[in-house]
Amino acid sequence: MKFEAFVAIRYIRSKRRNRFISLISIISIAGVSVGVITLIVVMSVMTGFDIALRETIIGNRSHLTVYDPKGKILDYESVIAEIESLCPEIVASGPVVQIEALFKNEEYTTGGLILGVDPERESKVTDLAKNLTNEGGRIFGKGRLPKEKEIVLGYRLANRISARLGSHLQIVTARATIRPLIGRQLGTQIWLTVSGISHARMSEFDEIYAFVDLNTARMLTGEDGVDAIHVKLTNPFLADKVAQKIRSELGHRTKTWYEDQQAFFDALRQEKLAMFIILAFIVLVAAFNITSTLIMVVMEKRRDIGILRTLGSSTSSILLIFILQGLFIGTIGTLIGLILGIIIAVNINPIADFIAKLLGWDLFNSTIYYFEGIPVAIIPFDVACIVISAVVLTFISTLYPAYSAARVNPVDAIRYE
């Protein structure tokens, strides 16, 4: 072991006449550990929510939506064949029609959007079929995919008009019709049967969206063709590449899942960065504690410093001794925090359940967050950033005390000893 490292470790170890300094060192280690634990747990939970929300959004929206720049896509089968042959990354695709409508029953009326889809194809592109089940934290999903003159409602939309499975709803659209003896009448009115209740785990979809098959959509619009093509890719992060290829070679308009929710994802990323900066202040406070500890050690060890300098130790050796002492404290605290942080993050749900039972309060209500448990994702890059930040802050905190120790005059230090 090098001389400087040996002396630094000896200064950390407890001695009978300087146990207070050693206690402060232990508190400094604990402070760094708590900061690192907090950062790892909070960042892992935030990343877990980010990934879970992204998967939910991607599951309910197509990875890529293809439009015809001229308007309606009349021959959607040929367009689907065209884009699938051009892009091998496409694993599924299906037509979609969007219709603004009023939903009426005997008591209530509310507005919403109806998506006309091919139910079998759409279930391969999005989570439409899964949303009718109780899988993945869904609670209200039930029923089956819609057939002709049937409709699937988002569960919040269904609650607004007190609709249940088998209920009959009057759907009113803005399409104008000509009726004998009546003349021109604004609004198509069709009675549909509720075949399913969808729980998409997204308030937007659960609140305003309903689904019908393409034949029913044609009855509502009175038009042939579809508005767009929904596309699912092997990897959603290939959406930009595939969109560019379709635009340049086929001339279609495109919109990716990220473009559709860009403001939301940007807000999540900024929130995560802000949280990291705020929680980093915990480590910064621990680093100040290390600074105060080293300053007290320098005052305590002035005689030792004078003796070391008299015996031939250089200024750089004295500087390195106290830098290493602070780094040892910070590194030990960081390692303890790293291990405990990962353990707590991995077991966050059992810990939350234990606290909930202890306090009699549900810390994570699945009906609010739409997840079965607290989502956690431990990303090595995030953990590495936390560890490096803690070590760097610790190193910076050692510079002033180490510089003060290096400037001690050996003659003044041992004059009265």
Residues 358, 268 share a domain? yes
d(CA 283, CA 337): 11
| DSSP single-letter state for residue 1 | -
Joined tokens for residue 177: 């019709």
Pairing of strands 90-104, 109-117: antiparallel
What does the angle CA 328 – CA 334 – CA 340 come to, to the nearest 5 degrees? Answer: 135
SS3 state at 406: helix
In a shared domain, residues 84 and 212: yes
321/354 same-domain check = yes
Phi and psi torsions of 363, nearest 5°: -75, -25
In this structure, the chain runs to a length of 417
* Residue 109: strand pairing partners: 104
User: Are 90 and 185 members of one domain?
Assistant: yes
Are residue 269 and residue 373 in the same domain, yes or no? yes
| Side chain identity, residue 74 | L
pLDDT number for residue 28: 81
Whether the model pTM is above 0.85: no
Query: Based on the domain organization, do 332 and 380 belong to the same domain?
Result: yes
Tokens found for residue 317: 């050796």
Q: Which amino acid is at 365?
A: N
End position of a domain, from candidates 257, 279, 309: 257
Count of domains for the chain: 2
| Rounded Cα–Cα distance for residues 117 and 130 (Å) | 16
- pLDDT block averages, 10 residues each, the chain of length 417: 71 59 76 88 86 80 88 88 90 91 86 90 89 82 91 90 89 66 60 91 83 90 87 90 90 87 79 82 80 77 74 79 84 92 89 79 59 80 89 87 78 60
The structure tokens listed for 245 are 């290829």
Query: Would you state the pLDDT for residue 18?
Result: 55
Task: Identify whether the C-beta of residue 199 lies closer than 8 Å to the C-beta of residue 140.
Answer: yes
CB 77 within 8 A of CB 194: no
Beta partners for 161? none
**206, 343: one domain:** no
* Same domain (yes/no): 278, 366: yes
**In terms of residue numbers, what domain contains 216?**
62-257
Residues 156 and 16 in one domain: no
Closest CA to 349 of 44, 36, 30: 44
Closest residue by Cα to residue 139 from 303, 328, 365: 365
The answer to whether the CB of 100 falls within 8 A of the CB of 174 is yes
Rounded Cα distance, 45 and 53, in Å: 12
**Euclidean distance between CA atoms 20 and 384, whole angstroms:** 33
Verify that 303 and 249 share a domain, yes or no: no
Nearest to 107 by CA among 152, 153, 161: 161
Cα gap 389→397, rounded to integer Å: 12
Q: Among all chains, which residue has been given the structure tokens 């959607």?
A: 76
From 229, 257, 285, the end of a domain falls on 257
Dihedral, CA atoms, 245, 250, 252, 253, nearest 10 degrees? 20
Using CA atoms, how far apart are residues 315 and 412, in angstroms rounded to an integer? Answer: 15
Are 290 and 158 found together in one domain?
A: no
Rounded Cα–Cα distance for residues 318 and 325 (Å) = 11
- What pLDDT is stored for residue 108 in this prediction? 85
- What's the confidence (pLDDT) of residue 228? 92
Tell me: do 69 and 45 sit in the same domain. Answer: no
**The last residue of a domain, from among 222, 257, 292:** 257
Helices 348-359 and 19-60 cross at an angle (nearest 10°) of 100
Rounded Cα gap, residues 328 and 317, in angstroms: 16
